[in-house]
Amino acid sequence: MAKGTGAGSAKGNTSGRGQRDLKVRVKTAKGRKMSSKLWLERQLNDPYVARAKREGYRGRAAYKILELDDKYRFLVPGARVVDLGCAPGGWCQVAVARVNALGEKGGKSVGRVLGVDLQEVDAIAGAEIHVLDFLEEGADQKVKDWLGGRADVVMSDMAAASSGHKNTDHLRIVALVEAAAAFAFDVLEPGGTFVAKVLAGGAELEMQTMLKKNFTKVANVKPPASRSDSSEKFVVAQGFRGRPDETAEDADGDL
């Protein structure tokens, strides 16, 4: 997406000669694993990595949530957002700007951004960051207390630690997304949105069924910022129907 960052952007190079020389190459140092070399080379040549550094984002993943929001429009001014597993903070940075958490958009509602992670995360202006395991008992109530109410958006870019076994990793991330969805059911306002990373692999049918039961619209999308060789995709579930027990209580006038 970022024009002028590719290998062929050098002025005067119309024949294609020398383009390979312009591409950053990483020599294999003694003792360096080939996989590490390839990862580093890919990072150095990734236009999203360069763009993130230029625009002040903490990682290229920021562009994934930017592209998803450009399409589905869930990070609106005034929204209250929870970012699960928020380290290193790129998604929080995007959310702060889009929901107007700093109040910089005159005349627009001011939103809230709450990030939680198992580890300490460097402070982000406009976001409230907490060390919290969202799986622990009472985590949903802590989040609602911190927010001062329910959330409009729960989002997650979390991935389980890789085991090196593709099927095992797929099952782990599906389980993680299901846990994040269950958490979202506890903290979302009716009409709210749940966004999460998943891995394509065929074991997520039950999860998709669960989401379609609880949301009016469920989309599965691979944003342009997601690397083409990655099996990741994102689920965007909008129009939370509300918990059945709470819906019943609302109808009886008990809330």
CB atoms near residue 221 (< 10 Å): 15
Tokens standing for 64?
Answer: 């994934």
Judge whether 111 and 80 are in contact, CB under 8 Å.
Answer: yes
Q: Active-site residues: which are they? A: 197
The region that residue 104 occupies, defined by phi over 0 for left and psi between -120 and 50 for alpha, beta otherwise, is alpha
Nearest to 81 by CA among 52, 109, 105, 104: 109
Instruction: Give the C-alpha distances (Å, rounded to integers) separating 203 from 95, 137, 156, 233.
Output: 30, 27, 19, 14
Tally the C-alpha atoms within 13 A of residue 169's C-alpha that lie toward its C-beta. 13
The region that residue 64 occupies, defined by phi over 0 for left and psi between -120 and 50 for alpha, beta otherwise, is alpha
CB atoms near residue 87 (< 10 Å): 21
Tokens standing for 168?
Answer: 């095992």
- What DSSP state is assigned to residue 10? S
Tokens standing for 247?
Answer: 């819906």
Annotated binding site for S-adenosyl-L-methionine: 89, 91, 117, 133, 157
Annotated binding site: 89, 91, 117, 133, 157
CB atoms near residue 201 (< 10 Å): 14
